[in-house]
Amino acid sequence: MPGDGLIDLPVPLLRAAVRALACLALGACTREGPATASAPPIGGAPPPPPAALSRFSVPLAYDFSSMLSVVERAVPRSLGSLDSVRMIGTDARKHYAFEARRGPFTTFVQGRELHLRATIAYEARGFYKPIVGPTLSAGCGNEREHPRFVLELATPLTLTPAWHLSSRARLVRLAPASTQQRDRCDVGILNTDVTDQVLDAARSATLEHLPAIDRLVGEIDLRPRFDEWWALLARPIELTHGVWLVLGPERLRMGRVSGQERTLVVPVTLDARPRIVTGDTAPVLAVAPLPPLGRDTASSGFHILIDGDIDYLSASRALTEAFASKVIVQAGRTIHVDSVQVTPAPKGQLALALFFTGNARGVLRLAGTPAYDAARRELTVPDLDYALKVNDRIIGTYAWLRDDKLRSAFRDRAHFPVQDALAKGRALLHEGLNRRIGDAVTLSATVDSVAVKGLYVTLDGVVVRAEAMGRAAVAVKP
C-alpha cells in the first residue's frame, strides 16, 4: 500500500461503519437481545447526547373524488316545481313558476380551494292575471332545449386534529351558462325576463344547503388511513444482520393544504427521533397511537450524529506507513521507525509505541490527546510527548532522542485521515434513509454534509463523532 497514511482494512471499517449508524439522531441507541455491548470509554469520554428532533417532509396525497358523492347527497338534484307559483316582485298580477334539474358536479383545484361546478337546466312559466278575462301564461324550455345556469361552490379543505376533513363551503358563482339568448328565460306575454328571479330562488336554496355540505364533509374520517401509515413508520427497518433502524415517529404537523387535478396534497412534517437498535431479532416496540394532528411547522431537515470507529490495528498500520518511508535525522544521527503500535491510554489519550532502528534501536513510547484538524481532515496528536517514566532507560542510553526537534518530527507524522470511516458511515446512513417501507411508504433522503464534532478514545478504538445534516422525506402512495 502507498505510504499516504490511508487506512485500508475493509472488514473492520465496514463493521465500524455499521456501528456508525448506532448514533442516529445524535447518537441515541439502545441494545436489545444478547448482542455484545461496546467497550466503555476511557477517561470519561462523553456518551452521545439525547436524540435531537429530526423532521421529515411528508407530502400526503388524498384523492378527493370520493367527496363528490358527499356533495351530491347534500345538494338536491331538483329545485323548484311548476306547481309552486311565486309572485314577481310586488305585482300581484304577475307570477311565475320554475323547475330545475342539476347535472353532476365536477371538481378542480384553484389555489388552496376545492371547486365544485354543476350545470343546471330549467324550465319556467309566467302567469299574468288581467283585470278582465282569464289568466294568461307562457313559458321557456321544452323537450329539445332548456335555459341553463352554472352553479359553482368552493371550500378550503383542511384536516382537524382528530383527522377528519373540514370544509367551509361558499357559493362562488350562480349565473347563466352563456351570454346567448337560449340561456335566458324571457316570458314575452309578461313583458318580463324571469332569469334573475330563477337565479335568486336557486341562490337561496343553495345557501340553505351549504351547512349540510360542511357537516357531511366533516364526517369523512381519514384516521384509519393515517393509522396504517403511522404503523409503517414505526416499524423497525433492518439495515444489516442484527442492526435495526427505528425512526421513532412522535407527531405529524400539517402545513397549508393545496391540490392538483383530483388530488388533495397535505404538506405534513413528521417529528421523529431515529435511533439504532442492535440485536439478533427485530426489536419489539410498543407503537404509540396516532397523536392528534399538530399545526403549521416548517421542515428543517435532520441533524444526525454518526460515529466512525477507527480500531487500533487500523490506526497502527496507518501510522506505520506514515513513519516507515521517512528517515529522521537528529544531531547527525539517524533513526528509522519500523512500526508504530497505537493503544488507548488513560484520560482520553492515545499511546504510541515507536519501534525504531538506526543509530539507536528500541521502543520509544509517547502519549497525547487526539484532535481533529479540519483543514487537513485528519486525526492528529498535537500534544504528543514522551512518556518519561516509561522511557527513562532508553533515553538514559540515547539522551539525544529527547530533543524537542525530534519530538516535533514525531508530532508532524502522527496523523492519519478519518474520512474513510466517516464515508462508510455516511453511505450506510444514506442507504438506511432511502428505502421502501411496506407497499405504501417510501423514505428518501440526501446527506448534504458531515462535520466532525469530536474524537473520543475507547477500548475498541478512536470514535470520530460527526454530525450528518440533510433533508428527508416520506412519500405515501395515495
Q: Assess if residue 317 is contained within a domain.
A: yes
The values of phi and psi at residue 198, to 5°, are -65, -45
pLDDT of residue 20: 35
> Are both 108 and 194 inside the same structural domain?
yes
pLDDT of residue 68: 80
pLDDT of residue 351: 93
> Are both 81 and 113 inside the same structural domain?
yes
Measured at the alpha carbon of residue 244, what is the angle toward residues 239 and 249, in degrees to the nearest 5? 115
Instruction: Report the pLDDT averaged over residues 44-65.
Output: 68
pLDDT of residue 450: 86
Residue type (1 letter), 108: F
Residue 368 confidence class, pLDDT cut points 50, 70, 90: very high
Domain count, the chain: 3
> Are both 71 and 101 inside the same structural domain?
yes
Q: Assess if residue 343 is contained within a domain.
A: yes
Quick one: cell of 49?
447526547
> Are both 305 and 425 inside the same structural domain?
yes
Q: Assess if residue 219 is contained within a domain.
A: no
Question: 168, 183, 214: which is the final residue of a domain?
Answer: 214
> Are both 399 and 429 inside the same structural domain?
no
Q: What is the pLDDT of residues 194-249, one digit of tens each?
A: 888 889 989 998 999 999 989 988 888 888 888 888 888 888 887 777 777 788 88
More confident residue, 77 or 45: 77
Q: What is the pLDDT of residues 292-317, one digit of tens each?
A: 988 766 556 787 777 777 889 989 99
Q: Assess if residue 4 is contained within a domain.
A: no
Q: How many CB atoms lie within 10 A of CB 44?
A: 9
Question: 214, 234, 263: which is the final residue of a domain?
Answer: 214
> Are both 368 and 387 inside the same structural domain?
yes
Evaluate if residue 342 carries a pLDDT over 90.
yes
Q: Provide the domain limits for residue 22.
A: 10-62+224-311+420-476
> Are both 403 and 433 inside the same structural domain?
no
> Are both 79 and 192 inside the same structural domain?
yes
pLDDT of residue 420: 79
Q: Are 391 and 367 in contact (CB under 8 A)?
A: no
Q: Assess if residue 467 is contained within a domain.
A: yes
Q: Assess if residue 3 is contained within a domain.
A: no
> Are both 306 and 428 inside the same structural domain?
yes
Q: Assess if residue 1 is contained within a domain.
A: no
Q: How many CB atoms lie within 10 A of CB 178?
A: 13
Question: 214, 242, 273: which is the final residue of a domain?
Answer: 214
Of these ranges, 232-241, 244-253, 333-342, 428-437, the one predicted with the greatest mean pLDDT is 333-342
Percent of the chain with pLDDT over 90: 15
> Are both 140 and 183 inside the same structural domain?
yes
Which of the 8 DSSP states describes residue 3?
A: S
Q: What is the pLDDT of residues 13-52, one digit of tens each?
A: 333 333 333 333 223 333 343 333 334 444 444 555 666 6
> Are both 125 and 194 inside the same structural domain?
yes
Q: Assess if residue 89 is contained within a domain.
A: yes
> Are both 438 and 402 inside the same structural domain?
no
Strand partners, 32: none
pLDDT of residue 118: 94
